Amino acid sequence: MKGFPLLPLALFIFHALILVESGPANSNLFREYIGAEFKNVGFSDVPINSGVEFHYILSFAIDYTTSSSPSLTDGKFNVFWDTDNLSPDRVAAIKSEHSNVRVALSLGGDTVGDGEPANFDPSSPETWISNAVSSLTKIIQEYNLDGIDIDYEHFKTDPDTFAHCIGQLISTLKKNGVVSFASIAPYDDDEIQSHYMALWKSYGHLIDYVNFQFYAYDEGTTVAQFLRYFDEQSSNYGGGKVLPSFISDGSGGLAPDGGFFTACSRLKSEGKLYGIFVWCADDSKGLGFKYEKQSQSLLAISH
């Protein structure tokens, strides 16, 4: 280091520290999917802690017809959630009651109708993008929604086409001021990851949260395994806010009564708890939303 100027070195260290500090940090974000299972769950059923940022995610909007035999509509989305309990008026009411509540919609999901896979299958990318922007803008404005979540799990196209279509959709909705945040919901499967990581590579700067489905790992996942999975996915989605998650009934991954909150406390102590999300309110109702309360209590504590 002989003769190396101290001032440039000091500036380098300063800028490096700024870069570290500007990365993701602990957040009080709580997110919950709602409406997919038609179990008469309303927004007001779910306890809301005033100390968190709370996102409901309506499940799902799908580009299929709503007929008894659903067919693809090439980006013309329809509502498939429980509209009797989760109507535009109910959205307005819960947002009026709670200033910390935002509401998003999720695209795709696993199945449509009587169990048919909800495929991502555009006839042409530009047609799909145009139809999706138009139809989703209409739904989002009708319901006064704030964000969008991408949860396609079945694909009839290659990763690059998926990345282009979804990336352009998010970009256009954000640019037009239709949504203020976007998330994706991948899980650990080769086909799923190839599509979502292609999307992340090209459009990760537009994606605010990664709702990684950690509950898709094997039932009985341990705390140590969960933390290793979290680090793996944080590496896959580098720089992203990867959110830990659980499924209400504990049927997969690290169960909420089996160490999930221990793992989250560890992540929080390391400055890596960017939020928590839950699948789903429909199932949690029968459990009295006890794990929602516990999640929000943990998130609301600042340290």
Q: What is the SS3 assignment for 46?
A: coil
Q: What is the SS3 assignment for 275?
A: coil
Instruction: Look at residue 303 in the predicted model and tell me its pLDDT.
Output: 59
CA–CA separation, 71 vs 123, rounded Å?
13
Mean pLDDT for the chain overall: 93
Task: Show the tokens assigned to 169.
Answer: 């959709």
Query: Would you say residue 37 has pLDDT above 90?
Result: yes
Q: What is the average pLDDT across 48-59?
A: 98
CA–CA separation, 12 vs 18, rounded Å?
10
Task: Tell me the pTM.
Answer: 0.92
Instruction: Look at residue 234 in the predicted model and tell me its pLDDT.
Output: 98
CA–CA separation, 122 vs 114, rounded Å?
22
Q: Which residues pair with 53 in a beta bridge?
A: 29
Query: Would you say residue 294 has pLDDT above 90?
Result: yes
Residues of the chain with pLDDT > 70, as a percent, come to 92
Whether the Cβ atoms of residue 108 and residue 60 lie closer than 8 Å to each other = yes
Query: Would you say residue 220 has pLDDT above 80?
Result: yes
Q: What is the DSSP letter of 243?
A: P
Query: Would you say residue 7 has pLDDT above 80?
Result: no
CA–CA separation, 77 vs 61, rounded Å?
6
Instruction: Look at residue 279 in the predicted model and tell me its pLDDT.
Output: 98
Instruction: Look at residue 176 in the predicted model and tell me its pLDDT.
Output: 98
Instruction: Look at residue 10 in the predicted model and tell me its pLDDT.
Output: 45
CA–CA separation, 184 vs 207, rounded Å?
7
CA atoms lying within 13 Å on the CB side of residue 190: 0
Q: Which residues pair with 55 in a beta bridge?
A: 31, 102
Q: What is the average pLDDT across 122-141?
A: 98
Candidates 47, 98, 46, 28; CA nearest to 298 is 28
Query: Would you say residue 17 has pLDDT above 70?
Result: no
Instruction: Look at residue 104 in the predicted model and tell me its pLDDT.
Output: 99
Q: Would you place residue 114 in the very low, low, confident or very high pLDDT band (cuts 50, 70, 90)?
A: confident
Out of 14-23, 66-75, 206-215, 236-245, least confident range: 14-23
The tens digit of pLDDT for each residue in 268-281 reads: 999 999 999 999 99
Q: Would you name the residues annotated as active-site residues?
A: 153
Residues of the chain with pLDDT > 90, as a percent, come to 90
Q: Would you place residue 113 in the very low, low, confident or very high pLDDT band (cuts 50, 70, 90)?
A: confident
Instruction: Look at residue 45 in the predicted model and tell me its pLDDT.
Output: 98
φ, ψ of residue 60 to 5 degrees: the values are -140, 165
